[in-house]
Structure 1
């Protein structure tokens, strides 16, 4: 299984250049590039500079993070989503990064589950049409907070199935899976080919509905049943990649290289019982 680094893990102080340098040094296979870090990089560099790095490097780009709050948007907000999608597709075409993570909206008010599903499917169809012109896939990520419109794996997977597009899949994030008590039965019945991105992380022992990003910890140091998730992925035939993603402020203040090295070591320790490591 290829090991990826998600830039959220060093978000506060690092840059795309630094993350790439240290990920290369510590043997990562892949990187997930944050939209904000990419725009920052392009203030002083070009897309061709980024392509040149990847052309000569072992590490490759896997996905962009993220187009956030894609559903229930007003016209200007939704146009910004489409503009950012176009931007990422154009960059991805140059550097061969063909997946974009998309995130549902929070605090939407009193919509029913069916209304949420209908709106999210509609938006995914529209964005998928745009992405398909670039042979790019959309990875739909549920967020395990009570106020997120899509907050369990089962709900997200049902929406992806209803969208029924070859270039739309789901993100499986261990923290979000645990945070709102997603059911392992839903993962056991999933098509491995529809899991476009797999995020690994762990968390503190807080009640259902109380966990937030700052409660994430390194894989294997918390209460998430990673063994069950990893075993299930093995059983359904998932083999693609694993990306370590944390938003813990404590880790943001560490030395950047230490954070990137620890992220890889803890991820490999978590997965090696179930998957061979590397591409």
Structure 2
């Protein structure tokens, strides 16, 4: 059975949507039809048999590692805090390298101790990219919608452009984009070669009333693309990125407490339905919305 018909090979899952041990997650993702998986540091360090066993399990699965996450609150610190974060970054890069993974995800700082000075932020991102070069790792910088200084992707893009490193690019997460209502027209200024990763998720309500609700929704209530109320916006986003020339990976970044209580194959199948919808319907331009697909069945 050829699972990779159309553009479906461009879509992958993230271990954060699944409960249970790493091996079980890898098996469920592979059996659902995916060829790639996004990993988190805790997948490695939390393995009962240690990091080497986790790396071996990933290699044995045959799944390609989309990326490794997530370095938080890195940029804009000074003194001992900066030194501490450089140390953490080196550790994250080493784990990423051990996986033969070519991409580290970094999200914009939320730290009250971080400077908002543009030059300081640029300098730190450039330094991080320098650390990653010898390991052949790209760094994707993503704007968290509750980031202290950088909370929308145009701001993240501005820093990436100023840092001007070949292995530093942008990470886009649809959740944060919709949460801040950033106009999709802003995508037009991006260089598709410098978009290193696109993470996709939907959620169940249209308006988010506070920053705290935004954080809670992001961490507990996301759903797979096509399962929430933003299907049309997600379809538009993916179509827009494709038209722009983006041909990189899409990863489903779905934090959901309910999915953590469901059998792994069930959750992985839900993700696979999303991949089929986006890969076959959206990217091939027929674009029925998922609820209409379900009605036809």
- Which TM-score applies when normalising by structure 1? 0.86
Counterpart for residue 84 of structure 1: 88
Aligned-pair CA distance for 1:104: 1.7
- Residue 129 of structure 1 is matched in structure 2 by 130
Query: Do the aligned residues in 2 keep the contact of 1:200 with 1:243 (CA within 8 Å)?
Result: yes
CA RMSD of aligned residues (A): 2.4
* Residues 56-103 of structure 1: CA deviation (Å, up to 9, x unaligned): 544111211111111233545434433333233334334320110011
TM superposition shift of 1:53: 4.7
Q: 2:37 aligns with which of 31, 37, 58?
A: 31
Distance 2:208 2:101 in 1: 37
Structure of greater relative contact order (alpha carbons < 8 Å, 6+ residues apart): 1
Structure 1 outlier segments of 4+, above 6 Å: none
Deviation at 1:260, TM superposition (A): 2.0
Query: What runs of 5+ residues in structure 2 fail to find an aligned partner?
Result: 1-6, 285-297
* SS of 2:46 mapped into structure 1: helix
Larger radius of gyration between Structure 1 and Structure 2: 2
Aligned pairs, number: 268
What is the rounded CA distance, in whole Å, between the counterparts of 2:67 and 2:39 in structure 1?
6
Question: Mean alpha-carbon deviation: is it higher for 30-39 or for 255-264?
Answer: 255-264
Q: Alignment partner of 1:249: what SS?
A: coil
Match of 2:229 among 223, 226, 233: 223
Deviation at 1:5, TM superposition (A): 1.4
Is it true that 1:73 corresponds to 2:81 in the alignment? no
Deviating more after overlay: 248-257 vs 103-112: 103-112
* Residues 16-61 of structure 1 deviation map (CA, whole Å, 9 limit, x = unaligned): 22211211211211111101121112x514537624752x544111
Which stretch has the larger CA shift, 243-252 or 205-214? 205-214
Give the superposition deviation at 1:111.
6.1
CA distance in 2, matches of 1:76, 1:15: 36
**Aligned 8 A contact 1:171 1:195 in 2:** yes
Counterpart contact for 1:244–1:264, Cα < 8 Å: no
Q: What is the CA deviation profile of residues 222-263 of structure 1, one whole-angstrom value per residue up to 9, with x for unaligned ones?
A: 233112101111111111211011112122222222222212
- Report the equivalent of 2:100: 96
**2:26 corresponds to 1:20:** yes
